[in-house]
Amino acid sequence: MAWFTRRPDEPEQSPRASAQRADDPSVLDDAAPVAPADELGRRLVARIVAESELPVVDPDAGPSLGAGLCVRAAIDTPDTVDILLTTRLGGWAALGDAALAGLRRLPAPAHQRVEHEVHVFESEDHFGASRLLLHDELLASVGLTDRPFGTLVALPTRSSLLVHVLHDATVVHALHLMSRVARAGQDMPGPLSPHVYYRAESGALQQITRYEGDQLQVHVDGAFASAMHDAKLTD
């Protein structure tokens, strides 16, 4: 599937490996010395990861997005992407601004509008899905500035992000398409999440899909239910 690509010259440490390569003090001091502060700042990039893939979930290392996803600063080098799992280098309070700035400096992801008004953003780096952290800027760059009811988002792999602006009954077909792509992404390099999420204007994420075998279940409750009602899609 053309939506999922990976540059063969960009291997990546898994979060577990990264804990030993770039965030475990006993290893960091001996095997991977910390770069000078200015050089480190230029290498930092914000990264969305699944909490279930982390050996430790330290809230001071980065914010939670809800629904099992969180943000961590990562050191992006030509050979590896090392995710910082603890506060060894100061945590998100010290590194967050630089990490988000690093994300903004990356080349813009490729954009494609497919059926059911689903927008596909795909990058050649390991931070395509992490562009969700720049949601408003990203959508504005492709003319999607009117989003009164929020959006549906999916993060199939580390390199891909799918977005649908909720506004009419197209949402039903879009959700099913996004779900299929998200599940297919779990067999691709760098899988991230098989689920579809509702993103409110506040930025909070709500997982709205569940799976029972091959059966998709859509949960319309909470903020998503309110948005569907406001868009006059439910009673």
Q: 30: pLDDT confidence band, cut at 50, 70 and 90?
A: very low
pLDDT at 213: 87
Considering the domain architecture, whether residues 31 and 122 belong to the same structural domain is answered as no
Q: Are residues 98 and 189 in the same domain?
A: no
- Tell me the average pLDDT across 123-135: 97
Assigned domain for 1 exists: no
Number of folded domains in the chain? 2
Q: What is the pLDDT of residues 181-199, one digit of tens each?
A: 999 999 999 999 999 999 9
Same domain, 58 and 166: no
- What would the pLDDT profile of 153-179 be if each residue is shown by its tens digit? 999 999 999 999 999 999 999 999 999
**152 and 166 in contact (C-beta within 8 Å)?**
yes
Give the mean pLDDT of 97-110. 97
Whether residues 114 and 220 share a domain: the answer is yes
Average pLDDT in the 63-76 region?
94
In a shared domain, residues 129 and 143: yes
- SS3 call for 107: coil
For residue 37, pLDDT over 80 is answered with no
Asked if the model's pLDDT at residue 36 lies above 90, the reply is no
Does the pLDDT at position 233 exceed 80?
yes
| Contact between residue 164 and residue 181 where contact means Cβ atoms under 8 Å apart | no
Is 10 contained in some domain?
no
Res 29: pLDDT: 26
For residue 129, is it within any domain? yes
Sheet containing 151-154: give its strands across: 110-114, 118-122, 160-165, 151-154, 196-199, 205-207
3-state secondary structure of 28: helix
- Quote the mean pLDDT of the chain: 86
pLDDT at 1: 38
CA 152/CA 124 separation, integer angstroms: 23
In whole angstroms, give the CA distance from residue 174 to residue 183: 14
Q: Are residues 94 and 135 in the same domain?
A: no
Predicted TM-score (pTM) of the model is: 0.85
Query: What residues are paired with 145 via a beta bridge?
Result: none
Mean pLDDT over 122-136 rounds to 97
Mean pLDDT across 48-57 = 93
pLDDT at 75 over 90: yes
- The verdict on residue 97 lying in a domain is yes
Indicate if 117 and 55 belong to the same structural domain.
no
- Indicate the residue among 105, 121, 144 that finishes a domain: 105
Q: Do 120 and 141 fall within a single domain? A: yes
Domain contains 3: no
Domain that holds residue 139: 110-230
